[in-house]
Structure 1
Amino acid sequence: MPLHSLYIINKAGGLIYQKDYTDGIAKLSSNEYLVLAGTFHSIHVITSKLSPIPGSSGIEVLETDLFKMHCIQTPTGTKFLLVTDPLQANVDALMRKVYEVYADYVMKNPFYTPEMPIRAELFDLNLNKLIKQINA
């Protein structure tokens, strides 16, 4: 029951990180990934505005027969979007671990500019290690 993909979207809806972890997933062009991120960001904003609950954070899970998309939004507006198998267990714990790796290796990196694409080798290495444990 694998994690298929991870997307990190900045508060303006721009894709700042994308990685596929499962072989066999259709590869999209760079432009298609950007459109996907922008579309999800728009849906997230719309659902937060349409919710009858004041202060709603927007869409959290989108479920299909083939996959689930899980989203968390940080206090800074950054969104983490995980595409998993529908039967994947403990996704909330996985999201927290992914966020911890992000906080440790991206946000604490003095050379990283917030809201810009993530290019951090230690982030990639530690994230890959975490995902290999999950997908094993």
Structure 2
Amino acid sequence: MAIFGLWVINKAGGLVYQRNFSDGLAQLTSNENLVLAGTLHGIHAITRNLSPTGTSSGAHVIEGESFKMTILLTPTATKFVLLTSLTETTADSMLQKVYEAYSDAVMKNPFHTPEMPIRSEGFDRRITSLIGS
């Protein structure tokens, strides 16, 4: 089991936080990460409309051949995405803990502007203690 990376995507589809935790991910440029986050934002918006019942919050898990993306959509439309191995079973609970760290370390910071990149040492430290280096 492995956690490869974490993305935080704002409600407009911009990547505001990105961190890799393992060598399992391809080394992408900043621009490539931004494009991927925007694409995921679009896919998530489309999946909200695909539900036969008409009531869906969008995709929660997207699986590839060798990885899984677990998505937590918050009430403010911020998305937390955890990139993991297929065998990872703790992604949902881990995302909830990441969201709590975000709420405490980022949103309570009076100097943070919502929807802008996250530059918080407190948040980085909490993510390191939750997930690793």
TM-score by length of 2: 0.95
Residue in 2 that maps onto 1:53: 53
Residue in 2 that maps onto 1:40: 40
CA spacing shift, 1:83–1:24, aligned 2, 3 Å: closer
Instruction: Measure the CA separation in 1 of the matches of 2:88 and 2:24.
Output: 18
Instruction: Measure the CA separation in 2 of the matches of 1:23 and 1:79.
Output: 23
Residue in 2 that maps onto 1:10: 10
Q: Percent identity?
A: 55
Question: Structure 2: which 5+ residue stretches go unaligned?
Answer: none
Q: Give the CA deviation at 1:54.
A: 2.4
Residue in 1 that maps onto 2:29: 29
Q: Over residues 65-124 of structure 1, what are the superposed CA-to-partner deviations in whole Å (9 max), with x where a residue is unaligned?
A: 311000011000000011001101122111111111111101111111100000001100
Instruction: Measure the CA separation in 1 of the matches of 2:73 and 2:96.
Output: 11
SS of aligned partner of 2:103: helix
CA RMSD of aligned residues (A): 1.2
TM alignment of 1:82-101, pairs within 5 A:
82-101=82-101
The structure carrying a bigger helix percent of its residues is: 1
**Displacement over 2 Å in runs of 4+:** none
Instruction: Measure the CA separation in 2 of the matches of 1:44 and 1:6.
Output: 16
Instruction: Please tell me whether the aligned partners of residues 9 and 78 of structure 2 are also in contact (alpha carbons under 8 angstroms).
Output: yes
Instruction: Measure the CA separation in 2 of the matches of 1:4 and 1:47.
Output: 24
Question: Structure 1: which 5+ residue stretches go unaligned?
Answer: none
Residue in 1 that maps onto 2:104: 104
CA spacing shift, 1:111–1:85, aligned 2, 3 Å: same
Q: Give the CA deviation at 1:49.
A: 1.1
Aligned residues: 133
Q: Which moved more, 1:75-84 or 1:55-64?
A: 55-64
SS of aligned partner of 1:88: coil
Instruction: Please tell me whether the aligned partners of residues 4 and 24 of structure 2 are also in contact (alpha carbons under 8 angstroms).
Output: no
Q: Over residues 35-81 of structure 1, what are the superposed CA-to-partner deviations in whole Å (9 max), with x where a residue is unaligned?
A: 00000000000110121132310111011231100001100000001
